[in-house]
Amino acid sequence: MEIANRMGNREPRWLRILLIAIAVLFLGVFLFLPLVTVFMEAFRKGAGAYFASFSDPAARAAILLTLISAGIAVPCNLVFGVAASWAIAKFEFKGKNILITLIDLPFAVSPVISGLIYVLLFGMQGWFGPWLAAHHLQIIFAVPGIVLATIFVTFPFVARELIPLMQAQDTDEEQAAISLGASGFQTFWRVTLPNVKWALLYGVILCNARAMGEYGAVSVVSGHIRGKTNTMPLHVEILYNEYNFVAAFSVASLLALLALATLAAKTVLERRVKAGSPGGHVAEEQLA
């Protein structure tokens, strides 16, 4: 901190002020204005119109579906993330790096393609399409497809937070617990989990934010059936395309509040994760 201040003083004062002004202006225009716009547009016709947007049954159905799909996707990826990080961090095996790369794969796939792959598998003309139709099962243009696409796009979040942290911690405490007679599950619950709880929560929060906000992948598999297969972001799209801007931005404002809560939680947790990790591990950003 102190070095940063001292070094910062090397640039002439006018240059520092200029750089700060550019940064503030750029972030102001590119980040704050869009955020402010969401709330301005939502309240354009007053609080009454704002709250009326949520009494629409289609809006309620969209909120419910978003909660359901995130409610399934997040726990699935949480269990997977814990299992993957246990296997990867606590044991040595061949192909570990390949496995880590494969876990990150969904981040490299664009949202539309993430939806497309499920259409190719389960759509009417897809590999399992005829079989599913014969058994009167529907995945694409139905809730299961939405859940699958959501799981895919949020797949790496928890694992990505846990793996580097657990790799940085040694296994001495776990080994002691096992040698004292604790079961594997007890060891995980009582020893490992307390060491990684903040990183775990951090991963879950990011996973949840993406699960609730995903648009591209979900829009490909949803079919946009109002009141049935619309999640909140899809409902926002439909309202917007119908020029029902107040309602669109009202639903969008809920998602924006979720984003703000996520950022706040992220900022707090980042400090905890940094403080609680050996060697000052820095929680990695959710990149690519």
Residues 179-198 that bind other proteins (CB under 8 A): 179, 183-184, 187-188
Please state the φ and ψ torsions of residue 136, each to the nearest 5 degrees. 55, 40
SS3 at position 124:
coil
Is residue 222 part of the contact set for other proteins (CB under 8 A)?
no
Q: Which is nearer to other proteins, 16 or 190 (CB)?
A: 16
Q: How far is the CB of 119 from other proteins (least distance, A)?
A: 7
Q: How far is the CB of 210 from other proteins (least distance, A)?
A: 8
Give helix 143-154 / helix 111-122 axis angle, nearest 10°. Answer: 140
Query: Residues 64, 83, 133, 168: which binds other proteins (CB under 8 A)?
Result: 83
Q: Which is nearer to other proteins, 106 or 276 (CB)?
A: 106
Window 24-43: residues binding other proteins (CB under 8 A): 24, 26-27, 29-35, 37-38, 41
Total residues in contact with other proteins, by rule CB under 8 A:
111
- Give DSSP secondary structure letters for 18-66: HHHHHHHHHHIIIIIHHHHHHHHHHTTTHHHHHHHGGGSHHHHHHHHHH
Q: d(Cα 207, Cα 128) in Å, to the nearest integer?
A: 29
Window 41-70: residues binding other proteins (CB under 8 A): 41
Query: Residues 168, 197, 263, 278: which binds other proteins (CB under 8 A)?
Result: 263
Q: Which is nearer to other proteins, 203 or 213 (CB)?
A: 213
The dihedral region occupied by 281, where left means phi > 0, alpha psi between -120 and 50, and beta the remainder, is beta
- Which two three-digit tokens encode residue 246? 């107040």
Q: Which residue, chain included where needed, has tokens 């793996």?
A: 163
